[in-house]
Amino acid sequence: MFNKSLLCVAGIAISSFVAASASADFINPQVPVWRGAADADFYAWENFTSAFGGPNLTNYAGTESGAALFNFGPGAFITGTGNLYGASNPLSISIYGGLTAQVNEVILNIASIGTIINTNSVRLTISDNIGNSISINPGFMELRSDSPAPGGQGQIQTRAFRWMLPGMPFAATRFELGFASQINNLSLDTVSADIRYVPVPGVLVILASSALIAIRPRRRTK
């Protein structure tokens, strides 16, 4: 038979953890200067609606549509504050989206509370529609903020990961960003993905021409 006392204690512990998870959010995330530019996409999530297998659509202020976040780690649920909480298993997150040009740079920010992100699991996969694919570890990672969670329930952290892609051997059409928690008891609070594209030559020519026109001195008329 189940020990009702143990179940009660476990329920109290989970409730306390979930209540504390509202205080994570982004703390000192890496925000690129090119966010919002015409050659960039910005996707972000601060509230989640699907705990397992279903799409979580972007909902952060100023974000774009066109990407979705999925959790494939069983035993998760959505907290009262909209966090994605891996109660009995690690979270296993995949973000899928389309690409409109060659990718130059990608920045991923993750805010969490509880157990920590498995940094070895963080990957960017770029692929096309005919079977070409490349999976890349981040070239840069940084712990942007780290403090103890209330009640000794792990850490409140914001982590940033960055990829620089100087060239691709194929014309990619979609991306996947993947990461996981080390163990269970991680509450995912906020996630953002910034993608910068390589400007196409035609755009550069137009911009250069516009700049020349703007700075060309006017001829004086007699």
* pLDDT tens column, 209-222: 444 434 444 444 44
Average pLDDT, the chain: 85
105 has a pLDDT exceeding 70: yes
* pLDDT tens column, 37-73: 999 999 999 999 999 999 999 999 999 999 999 999 9
**What's residue 101's pLDDT?**
93
**What's residue 211's pLDDT?**
43
Whether the pTM exceeds 0.85: the reply is: no
More confident: 212 or 84: 84
Please write down the HEC assignment for all residues of the chain: CCCHHHHHHHHHHHHHHHHHHHHCCCCCCCCCCCCCCCCEEEEEECCCCCCCCCCEECCCCCCCCCEEEEECCCCEEECCCCCEEECCCCCEEEEEEECCCCEEEEEEEEEEEECCEEEEEEEEEEECCCCCEEEECCCEEEEEEEEECHHHCCEEEEEEEEEECCCCCCCCCEEEEEEEECCCCEEEEEEEEEEEECCCHHHHHHHHHHHHHHHCCCCCCC
**What's residue 24's pLDDT?**
59
**What's residue 167's pLDDT?**
85
* pLDDT tens column, 88-104: 999 999 999 999 999 99
* pLDDT tens column, 132-176: 999 999 999 999 999 999 988 899 999 999 999 988 889 999 999
**What's residue 158's pLDDT?**
98
194 has a pLDDT exceeding 50: yes
Q: How many CB atoms lie within 10 A of CB 41?
A: 24
Burial (CB < 10 A; 0-12, 13-18, 19+), residue 134, is middle
